[in-house]
A and B are shown apart, each in its own frame.
Chain A
Amino acid sequence: MELRPILSALMRSRVALVLLGLQIALTLAIVCNSLFIISERAALMERPSGMNERDTFVLASIGFGADFNLKNAIADDLAMLRALPGVVEAAPINSLPMTNGGWSSGLSLTREQKTSSAYSAMYFSDDHGLDAMGARLIAGRPYRPDELGERSRKTKGWPPVIIITRALGNKLWPGQDPIGKSVWLDTDADASTVIGIIDRLQAPWVHNDEVVEFATLLPEVINEGAFIRYIIRTAPGQRDALMKTAEAKLAEINPNRIVREGKTVEKIRADAYSDDRAMMIILGVVIASLLIITALGIVGMASFWVTQRTKQIGTRRALGATRGAILRYFLAENFVITSIGLVLGAGLAYGFNVWLIQHYQTQAMPWYYVPVGCLSLWLLGQLAVLGPARRASRVPPAMATRSI
């Protein structure tokens, strides 16, 4: 490899070297950080909600008219829904993971606490709720029918038994078994005892990393106003058909209400992460554009140099360079330019990441992003320069004696 003379020659074309090097450096810095942001978003989107998302959907209704009775409507609706062939389970629910709206509350380990030990999403449902969501109980027991209650504005205190997620249990009692432990949802009321642990059930707020895995399932049905939401789990493959049927049946058995269009939990997930997906697409376009522009920059510069040095290439051929030697020369020259850009770019990439951490609370980029980015840009550079280098290798040695 003629690295030293190549470097020496490049030092006499500093402007081109600096411009191309800077372009490569910026590309590396932006591509590495963008890819990291994309991977972070992808990881965020891939987190399981704890529900059976494939077979579940929600329906909601708002009653109207003076004779609309929410409690009776819920009883009738649930009886109808649970009787529908193909429905595995149905339950009332106040909110769901990924909906970005719901009820949260602080939990305290002692009555005397001034500040809560943790904040948790509150899901109100009946003894079918756990099953309807498809959440997995990993310890303790589910609710019994005799433990069910109602919640309205007038309700005082909190239920004596609750089920919480494993993550919330670990937060409240690190390294201990939460089953049988007491916790206060309101320090002015009685404590609730943990009777069950759910493997996982996300809070509605998927972008709040602090509470997203903390959820409490309460054995109460909301009996306030005229709004009610149901979560319905079907047998595999029957969700979409049953969603239409259930929607029609709800309207049919009680016409004094508006039934909202059903929504699958998969659609809820898609909506919850639509901004993240848009950001990933935009960053992907930015990455692709940068790589294309950088590759075109390398092609353009290499093509210019080949044209500019046609006589020189002919002279090298006349002095004994094979076609392969000329090809290798241009590949090596690109390798040197790219390497200079990448050394600068590596520093920029880490610096940019530190800036993002300081200003946007992102995570530290794993160390391997920059080396992998360097390898990719080396490869891109070599592929980009291959065309002009092949053209250079085809310059005939007789060019050395031509007057051009």
Chain B
Amino acid sequence: MLKMNHLSKVYRTHLIETHALRDFSIHVREGEFVAVTGPSGSGKTTFLNIAGLLEEFTGGEYFLDGVDVRGMDDAARSRLRNEKIGFIFQGFNLIPDLNLFDNVDVPLRYRGFNASERRRRIEEALARVGLSARMKHYPSELSGGQQQRVAIARALAGSPKILLADEPTGNLDTQMARGVMQLLEELHADGATIIMVTHDPELAARAQRNVHVIDGQVVDIQAEPRMRGLGVVVPQAAQA
């Protein structure tokens, strides 16, 4: 589903070069729930941005659902992002001036679905997260946990191949975080492929597999036994 080989990302200014990712390799299969952990500044967010086609990488290879994304222009990346990826952000990133229906509608409009198809998907997605009755409400009228559920509904509505979650419970209290995490687990159980960036070891432990990143490199991959049996490719950095 997601395969990065020897990927690197260098941020350059006229004074310094910063290697955010170095020789970064990872392979996430369809249906996996992977937690990416690491300290602040380790490269987790850079990995997420590149995985989500939000940023370009400097070197290496990246295949998303079999598509080589290297050298793609901005419009093609936008279309691929819209079609294949569902984002769940730490700050929810809902649009405050739009009600829940219109918020979930945003990526579907970019996808070019017709109005009836969009309505069906929005209603299904909001039902999935238990917010059908609040379609006409605005984000400010919801709790943090509910807002994150809307964000999850927005991510699900386009039937993406993979969900990328950036600290999905980072802005929530324990109880709300538990609810969101439970929802992610349910989605995974239903077959969704999820990559979750988190610094919380407890949350990471609930994922199927952990990838630990330090200084832009994968330093440890903990594969679930049944995944090992399926022949998960272990990156060279981890092997080293």
Give A contacts to B, CB under 8 Å.
2, 5, 8-10, 12-13, 311-312, 315-325, 396-398, 400-401, 403
> B42 contacts the other chain (Cβ, under 8 Å)?
no
With beta carbons under 8 angstroms apart, the residue of B53, B91, B97 that contacts A8 is B97
Top 9 closest A-B pairs, CB basis?
A320-B82, A9-B97, A320-B110, A319-B107, A315-B93, A398-B54, A397-B54, A322-B78, A12-B97
Task: Establish whether residues A323 and B75, one from each chain, have CB atoms under 8 Å apart when the complex forms.
Answer: yes
Task: Establish whether residues A318 and B81, one from each chain, have CB atoms under 8 Å apart when the complex forms.
Answer: yes
**Cα–Cα distance between A311 and B89 once the two chains are bound (Å):** 12
**Cα–Cα distance between A5 and B53 once the two chains are bound (Å):** 26
With beta carbons under 8 angstroms apart, the residue of B79, B97, B99, B106 that contacts A322 is B79
Distance (whole angstroms) from the CB of A144 to the closest CB of chain B: 87
> B121 contacts the other chain (Cβ, under 8 Å)?
no
With beta carbons under 8 angstroms apart, the residue of A13, A311, A319, A323 that contacts B154 is A319
Task: Establish whether residues A319 and B87, one from each chain, have CB atoms under 8 Å apart when the complex forms.
Answer: yes
**Which of A8, A396, A401 has the most C-beta atoms of chain B within 10 angstroms of its own C-beta?**
A401
> B105 contacts the other chain (Cβ, under 8 Å)?
yes
> B186 contacts the other chain (Cβ, under 8 Å)?
no
Task: Establish whether residues B79 and A320, one from each chain, have CB atoms under 8 Å apart when the complex forms.
Answer: yes
With beta carbons under 8 angstroms apart, the residue of A5, A321, A401 that contacts B78 is A321
**Cα–Cα distance between A208 and B106 once the two chains are bound (Å):** 64
Residues of A within 8 A of B222 (CB): none
Knowing A312-B95, A315-B93, A319-B87 are in contact, say whether A396-B54 is a contact too (CB < 8 A).
Answer: yes
With beta carbons under 8 angstroms apart, the residue of A12, A311, A320 that contacts B93 is A311
Given A12-B96, A323-B75, 18 other A-B residues pairs in contact with their CB atoms under 8 A: A5-B105, A8-B99, A9-B95, A9-B98, A10-B97, A311-B93, A319-B82, A319-B87, A319-B154, A320-B81, A322-B78, A323-B74, A397-B55, A397-B81, A400-B87, A401-B48, A401-B54, A403-B90
> B132 contacts the other chain (Cβ, under 8 Å)?
no
Task: Establish whether residues A317 and B55, one from each chain, have CB atoms under 8 Å apart when the complex forms.
Answer: no
Residues of A within 8 A of B99 (CB): 8
Knowing A5-B102, A396-B55 are in contact, say whether A320-B97 is a contact too (CB < 8 A).
Answer: no
> B166 contacts the other chain (Cβ, under 8 Å)?
yes
Give B contacts to A, CB under 8 Å.
45, 48-49, 52-55, 74-75, 78-79, 81-83, 87, 89-91, 93, 95-99, 102, 105-107, 109-111, 138, 154, 158, 166
Distance (whole angstroms) from the CB of A336 to the closest CB of chain B: 13
Knowing A13-B97, A401-B49, A401-B166 are in contact, say whether A8-B102 is a contact too (CB < 8 A).
Answer: yes
Task: Establish whether residues B110 and A319, one from each chain, have CB atoms under 8 Å apart when the complex forms.
Answer: yes
**Cα–Cα distance between A400 and B78 once the two chains are bound (Å):** 14
With beta carbons under 8 angstroms apart, the residue of B83, B95, B109, B158 that contacts A315 is B95
Task: Establish whether residues B98 and A8, one from each chain, have CB atoms under 8 Å apart when the complex forms.
Answer: yes
**Cα–Cα distance between A166 and B91 once the two chains are bound (Å):** 82
Task: Establish whether residues A403 and B87, one from each chain, have CB atoms under 8 Å apart when the complex forms.
Answer: no
Distance (whole angstroms) from the CB of A380 to the closest CB of chain B: 25
Task: Establish whether residues A320 and B107, one from each chain, have CB atoms under 8 Å apart when the complex forms.
Answer: yes
**Which of A311, A316, A322 has the most C-beta atoms of chain B within 10 angstroms of its own C-beta?**
A322
- Which residue on chain A has the smallest CB distance to residue B197? A401
**Cα–Cα distance between A324 and B75 once the two chains are bound (Å):** 8
Distance (whole angstroms) from the CB of A41 to the closest CB of chain B: 47
Task: Establish whether residues A398 and B55, one from each chain, have CB atoms under 8 Å apart when the complex forms.
Answer: yes
Distance (whole angstroms) from the CB of B111 to the closest CB of chain A: 7
**Cα–Cα distance between A8 and B75 once the two chains are bound (Å):** 27
Task: Establish whether residues B45 and A401, one from each chain, have CB atoms under 8 Å apart when the complex forms.
Answer: yes
Distance (whole angstroms) from the CB of B184 to the closest CB of chain A: 18
Task: Establish whether residues A400 and B89, one from each chain, have CB atoms under 8 Å apart when the complex forms.
Answer: yes
Task: Establish whether residues A400 and B54, one from each chain, have CB atoms under 8 Å apart when the complex forms.
Answer: yes
> 26 A-B contacts, Cβ less than 8 Å apart?
A5-B98, A5-B102, A5-B105, A8-B102, A10-B97, A13-B97, A311-B93, A316-B95, A316-B110, A317-B54, A317-B78, A318-B81, A318-B93, A319-B82, A319-B87, A320-B79, A320-B111, A323-B74, A323-B78, A396-B55, A397-B53, A397-B78, A398-B49, A398-B55, A401-B48, A403-B90
Distance (whole angstroms) from the CB of B144 to the closest CB of chain A: 16
Residues of B within 8 A of A400 (CB): 54, 87, 89, 93
Task: Establish whether residues A318 and B106, one from each chain, have CB atoms under 8 Å apart when the complex forms.
Answer: no
Distance (whole angstroms) from the CB of B46 to the closest CB of chain A: 9
Task: Establish whether residues A315 and B102, one from each chain, have CB atoms under 8 Å apart when the complex forms.
Answer: no
- Which residue on chain B has the smallest CB distance to residue A325? B110
**Cα–Cα distance between A49 and B175 once the two chains are bound (Å):** 90
**Cα–Cα distance between A311 and B45 once the two chains are bound (Å):** 16
- Which residue on chain A has the smallest CB distance to residue B109? A2
**Cα–Cα distance between A13 and B102 once the two chains are bound (Å):** 17
Distance (whole angstroms) from the CB of A270 to the closest CB of chain B: 57
- Which residue on chain A has the smallest CB distance to residue B97? A9
Task: Establish whether residues B54 and A318, one from each chain, have CB atoms under 8 Å apart when the complex forms.
Answer: yes
With beta carbons under 8 angstroms apart, the residue of B48, B49, B106 that contacts A319 is B106
Residues of B within 8 A of A13 (CB): 97
Distance (whole angstroms) from the CB of A318 to the closest CB of chain B: 5
